[in-house]
Every structure is written in C-alpha cells, then in structure tokens.
Structure 1
Amino acid sequence: MFSAVLLLSFSLVSVCLTRPSANVLENDSLLAHESEEVRYAAIKRLLEVFGMEDPPHSPGLMKQPPQYMLDLYNTVADVDGVTKDPDLLEGNTVRSFFNKIHDEQVQYLFNLSTVAKKEKVLTAELHLFKMKPRATATFTRHHFCQVSIYQVLDVNSMNTSQGRKLLSSRLIPIHSSGWEVFSITQAVRSWAVDEHSNHGLLVKIRNLGGSQVEPSPVRFASGRDHHQSKQPMLVLFTDDGRRTAALESTLNDLNNDDPSVPSSPQGLKPPNSRSVRSLEYSEEDRLPCQRDPLYVDFEEIGWSGWIISPRGYNAYHCKGSCPFPLGQNMRPTNHATVQSIINALKLTKGIETPCCVPDKLFSINLLYFDDDENVVLKQYDDMVAGSCGCH
C-alpha cells in the first residue's frame, strides 16, 4: 500500500515537473505575440523604404513579364540588382501597361491609376509590334507608309480633327516586322492632371500620298489575336520624388535637432549607445573596420510572389574598430583622424574613437508586379554599402 502511494506521489511530482506552468505558457504566448508584432513592424518599415504602404496582391510570377522590361532591368542592374550606372535610367521608376480594350478602329486604352499624383512624368512611349505585311496591289510599288498616333479627345468624334490630337507621326518600312516605338508624353501628362480625360489612343495608317487605304497592309499585333509577348504596351518613365523627399527630411531633422529638448517622456537622456556597446565588447570588435556580407532574402521575408528580380541582394554592413593611428586603408575623414588623436591623447573627456560606417552607398533596382499586374522597375538609392571607413 505504501509503495503504491509512493508511486502515485512520484507520478504527480513528475507531471508537475514536466508540464509547463500557466505562467510559463502565458510568458511564451506573450513572447510569441511580441515577436510577431516586431516582425510586422519591421516588414512595414521595410515597405516604407521601398516606397509602398502594402505589398502588391498580384498573382505574381505566374505571368510572363514583357521582354522589354527584363532587358531594361538587365541593362541598368547587375545580377544582384545593383545599379551599373546611375545615368542609364531616366528618373527612378519605369512602368509597363498593357492595352485594356480591343477595337477594330485600332484604338488603345491604358489604365494609369497606379501612377501617384506626385510622380513627375518624364517620358511616355507607345510600343507596337508590327506584323509581317499583307501583299496588296496598292502598296506593291511603295516601301514606306505613314503611321500617326492620336490622343482621343472625344470618343464620339475621334475620326474628326476636333475629336483627336496628333501626338506622333513618321514613316515606317512596309516590308519589315518588329517593335515600333512612338512618343506619347504629351497625352500621358494631360491624363496625369485629369485622369477622366484618358479616352485612349488612335492609330491611323496612310500611304505616302496621305490617303487612308483599306485594308491596310500594315498590321500591329493586338492582345486579343496574338501572343502575349507582342501585346501593345505603354512604357512610362517617371520620378516619384523619393530622393528629394529624403533630402528634405534629412534637412528637417538637422534643423530640429535641439539638444535642450528631452528625447524621452521622462526627460531623461537615452543611454549612450557606445557605453552599451562597450559592455558587449568582443573579439570581433578588435578587428579593423571592414565590410562584411549582409544578404537580404526576399523569399524569407515573404515577397517572392511579386518580385521578379532580384531574388535577394547583398546589402553588406560595416563592423570593426577604428583604433589609433588611423591608416589610409581605413578611409578616414579628416574629422575622424582628429577625433582619433584627441581620444588617444585623452585631451578631452568623453571623446570616443571614430565609428566604422559605410562611406559609399550604391542603389539597387527592383523589378516587380503591382496590384494591376503591371511590371514596374524601380531604383532605390543608398541600399548597398559599397565600402566602409572610419568616420
């Protein structure tokens, strides 16, 4: 009997030892909740860096992006998305839009609602794929025809001079095939001011004498009858003002930096970051200032469904110490050199050694689908630490 009671008591003790208490479960739940909140806040902040409020809800990579946008991305960016030359891209945003209607009168309509009002329209192009010509007696002796692009002002009278406005006109070879590009910047700028004025575009094809001939020997591919890769497309180059806004924000921060204003609700100064860091001093900190890898994986963040390229990029980060004397290999500024000397000589109390920070930053390019399945190429400044120095 005694042994049975002893066994029961031992079992109860074992259960108590192995089963987590209510406090432990509650603490785990709180930690998980806090971790989720931190992740949400971090992702939200990262979206702000990329100029977005929410990630696009596009079906993403199931759709094939236009070859033009892929080629443009590969022209301006390397395999990691880093900008090859900042002067290659006009503005910092390029969008491609597909035709939304199919009309026998060769009319095109593009939905530009995803373009923000604050964006500055730099250049707009209409890309049309010219099919192989049809042989007709009228054009057998001619090698060129005139193609004119009009902005539709009134859908009820678009075949009259009052109902349309000429945007671009030029001669193109009849017996060729491939992409033809026309400037339509004027029309898109007017649509940006008043989106309700967007009634689309009209294409007219005439012979060298100026007469319209039916049927036309020149055919442009449509999204309805031809392969997706040959769809009519509007390509828009804009500047979204992020660079200007960032500069203004920095200037405001500098102007509002008043040391007399307390930085916490209690009026207490935050702990010195260098003092906190000194408590965590490690062998790594004794290494000289250097650039180390810092890979940002878009799949781990959960963005692989809408980002076409790159799949991630190496942002790099700077770490290490800036001990006296600072050699040129540490790329010190004159100010950092003086600060290092003052610190070494202990001439003034509280003067720390210079910090290891990025002294050259590169931009990256992102190619992605937006909510309307348009493909967007955006350039983001100061995203990659190109080199590190003591400052």
Structure 2
Amino acid sequence: MPCSQFWLLILFAWVPTCLGKPSQVSGAEGDGHPDQTQAQALKKLLEVFGMEGPPQLPQHPKEPPQYMVDLYNAVAGDDGIIKNPDILMGNTVRSFLDKTHSVQMHLHFDLSNVAKNEKILSTEFHLFKLRPKLSDQINPSAPHFCQVDIFQVLDKEDMDSPVGKRHLCSRKLAVQGSGWEIIHITQAVREWTEDESSNQGLLVTVGEMNEDPLKKRTFCPVRFASGRDHHESKKPMLVVFTDDGRQGAILPSVPFSHPNMAEALPVPRGNGSRMARSAEAPMPCQRLPLLVDFEEIGWSSWIISPRGYNAFHCQGACSFPLGANMRPTTHATVQSIVHALKLRQDVQGPCCVPDQLYSISLLYFDEDANVVLKQYDNMVAGSCGCH
C-alpha cells in the first residue's frame, strides 16, 4: 500500500463520513509539504498511543521477557483485539529488569518511566530459582528447605545493619527444583514512585528456617539467577500493574466475532453496470477495512505485538428510509425524516459512524528498553450505524 494511501486511511479512521463522502482535511495540518504532513500524522498517531516520540533503541533489541509475551497472548489475539479483559488489573503492565549486575543479591529497578498519574495497583517481584549444585544434591546433611527474605534497602551504604534495610516478607522454599518465584511488594514500589530518591533497591538473603533475617545467616543452598551471571531470560524482574486513569474499555454487550484482519470485508469493486447502479443508489452505511501496519510506518522495531491491526472504518449513505440493518438511533430516524421532507434546509441526513468500539493491546519497548503491555480503548470499529 502506498504511504499516501495509508495516511488517507488513517484520516478516515478518525473523521466520520456522511453520505459516503469523506470530510476534507483543512487548516495548517492538512497543508504544506508531503513530508511535513506525514511527520504531523505520525506525531498525531503517537499522541493516540500516549507517547511523545518513538523510543530510540539499539539496532537489535533484546528478546522481551517470556512472561510479558505470555501475558499479551492471554489478553489479546494476534491482531491485538482484547479477548479476555478480566485478566489485567488496570490498563498498563510494565516490566523492569535488574541492571545492577551486583555480586550480592542487591537489585535495583529504574522506575522513572512510571508516570506520576499512574496508580500503582499491584507489583510482582520475579526471581528465578536455580537448581542446587550437584554437591548440595548429594549431601545428606544439606537442609531440605531454606528461608528466603526480601528487604527494601533504606541505605545502600549500610545494608548489613538493621537500620539499613526494612524487612518486607519471608518465604519457605524447597532446596530441590527450579523455576520462577513471584513475591508481591506493592507498598515498597508505591513509595519509590512517590519519592524517586527512596528507591535504593531490594536485597535478597537466604538462610536456614526460623533464623532471624536481620542477623548473619547460616549458609543454605537455595540460589537465584542474577543479572550478572545468568541469561537474560532468567534475570530478576519487577512487574508493575498500573492504571493511568484513561476511560475504561468499551466492551461488546453481545457476543461478536473478532474483527481481525482475516475477517476484513473487501472494499466494494464493480463493473460498469454496478457503477451505474451505485450512481442511482449510493452504497449503504457499512463497515470497511482499515489496516494499520506498524512495519509500514517504521514502528516495527519497538512494537513487539501486534504487527498491525484492522481498525475498520464506516462509510456509506444513511438514506431515507433507514432500515434496521442501518442500526439507526431514534434521533437519526427523525433526522432522516426531516431531511427527506426538506422541513429544514440546514438539516443534513444522519452520518455513518461507528456505534461499537473495541480495545486493543500493544506490547512494546519503551525508551529504556523495558517491555510495556498497554491497553488502548476505542481503537476498532466493531460495527457501524446511522447517527
């Protein structure tokens, strides 16, 4: 699809059409050099997604955490259309990897990208438990369970003293086995986002069961992957669920088939006789495809999923008399009657517009290469009607 055609379709998505004729773009934003218009259009589209600009990432960004990919797949389909709105708390999920590469399990997560208007709903601290060393597996005197303690660091220069850290929680873990452990530390993260200077990280310690976590710990063979010595996929991670206060999703009140790209309705094309009939009877109000391809507009390097989506748009005439298939409101029906009887010269016929809108989710890298899952409301025309 030529780029100019893509931006024409973008304009169709946001400007309602009446009687099948698109509104004309006028004013400063519609005038000027094509490159300037394209830049303005990209800026407007970024504003729709709540972003000031595309993130500047390395040429080959790292793979996103599998947890975030799995979460996206549980929430949305391949086309981004939300299929299970009840999974997430809020409308934004942010993941942060530990970047300290500390020898100790002193971990730090940079939360500067969490906006001040975002309400922290829940926070998960993810640690990958490694398999015990072979010597610990065959040692008959080795303990079967260890106690893991999580601390909020208050003074990173004095973490060994009781006043340098605050105990958050304890967990009993079996020495054998491996896998992810998820620990909730919501209150600490709320404090960090309210006062960025208070964020001095987390400290993880391991010892024998029922030991005082504030005192020197006895060795216990439970080990966790760290950012220093282990693969990116096993790094400690903080997952923050937030709500930025935007309007909630408009969800379907009745079952519907997902309006994905595969189900896109073909744009009507006809021969001469069909064209002649269309001149006599305009195309009725209906939903038509509007494909948004992130690769085509140069965003595929930072948008992980979906690769694009079908926004659909509404086009066609709302001619009198309005049938039930036009899904008219009572007001639109009255307006069409007044227009048909020419009772008022300044009253136009009803417009063909979306009357159900659905949400999509995007999985993308932010400017610090953190992975974000965000829900955007009112992005897909689910059906069209005369209003």
Q: By the TM > 0.5 criterion, same fold?
A: yes
CA contact (8 A) 2:123 2:241 kept: yes
Report the Cα offset of residue 216 of structure 1: 2.6
Q: Secondary structure at the match of 1:340?
A: helix
Encode CA deviations 1:1-53: one digit per residue, 9 max, x unaligned.
xxxxxxxxxxxxxxxxxxxxxxxxxxxxxx99611111111111111111111
CA contact (8 A) 1:96 1:235 kept: yes
Q: Secondary structure at the match of 1:151?
A: strand
Give the 5 Å matches for 1:30-179. 34-59=33-58, 62-134=61-133, 135=136, 140=141, 142-179=143-180
Report the Cα offset of residue 213 of structure 1: 4.9
Q: Distance in 2 between matches of 1:139 and 1:52?
A: 57
Encode CA deviations 1:224-249: one digit per residue, 9 max, x unaligned.
211111111111111223338xxxxx
Change (3 A) 1:32 1:345: closer
1:382 corresponds to:
378
2:225 corresponds to:
221
Q: Distance in 2 between matches of 1:359 and 1:181?
A: 42
Report the Cα offset of residue 140 of structure 1: 5.0
1:356 corresponds to:
352
Q: Distance in 2 between matches of 1:44 and 1:96?
A: 25
Q: Distance in 2 between matches of 1:111 and 1:283?
A: 61
Q: Secondary structure at the match of 1:337?
A: helix
Encode CA deviations 1:315-360: one digit per residue, 9 max, x unaligned.
0000111122222221111111221222223333322221110011
Q: Distance in 2 between matches of 1:136 and 1:297?
A: 52
Q: Secondary structure at the match of 1:155?
A: coil
One-letter code aligned to 1:375: V
Q: Secondary structure at the match of 1:84?
A: coil
Change (3 A) 1:285 1:198: farther
Question: 138-147 or 227-236, which moves further after superposition?
Answer: 138-147
One-letter code aligned to 1:376: V
Structure 1 unmatched runs, 5+ = 1-30, 245-281
Report the Cα offset of residue 181 of structure 1: 0.5
Q: Secondary structure at the match of 2:295?
A: helix
CA contact (8 A) 2:80 2:360 kept: yes
1:347 corresponds to:
343
1:210 aligns with 2:206: no
One-letter code aligned to 1:220: F
Q: TM-score, normalised by structure 1?
A: 0.77
1:321 corresponds to:
317
1:19 corresponds to:
none
Point out which structure has higher relative CO (alpha carbons under 8 A, 6+ apart).
Answer: 2
CA contact (8 A) 2:106 2:202 kept: yes
One-letter code aligned to 2:211: G
Change (3 A) 1:361 1:165: same
One-letter code aligned to 2:296: E
Q: Distance in 1 between matches of 2:283 and 2:318?
A: 9
Report the Cα offset of residue 218 of structure 1: 0.5
2:244 corresponds to:
240
Q: TM-score, normalised by structure 2?
A: 0.78
Report the Cα offset of residue 174 of structure 1: 2.1
After superposition, the CA RMSD in angstroms is 2.3
Aligned residue pairs total: 324
Question: 287-296 or 162-171, which moves further after superposition?
Answer: 162-171
Q: Secondary structure at the match of 1:51?
A: coil
Q: Secondary structure at the match of 1:123?
A: strand
1:193 corresponds to:
194
Q: Secondary structure at the match of 2:229?
A: coil
CA contact (8 A) 1:136 1:217 kept: no
Question: 190-199 or 283-292, which moves further after superposition?
Answer: 283-292
Change (3 A) 1:283 1:157: farther
Higher normalized helix content (fraction of residues)? 1
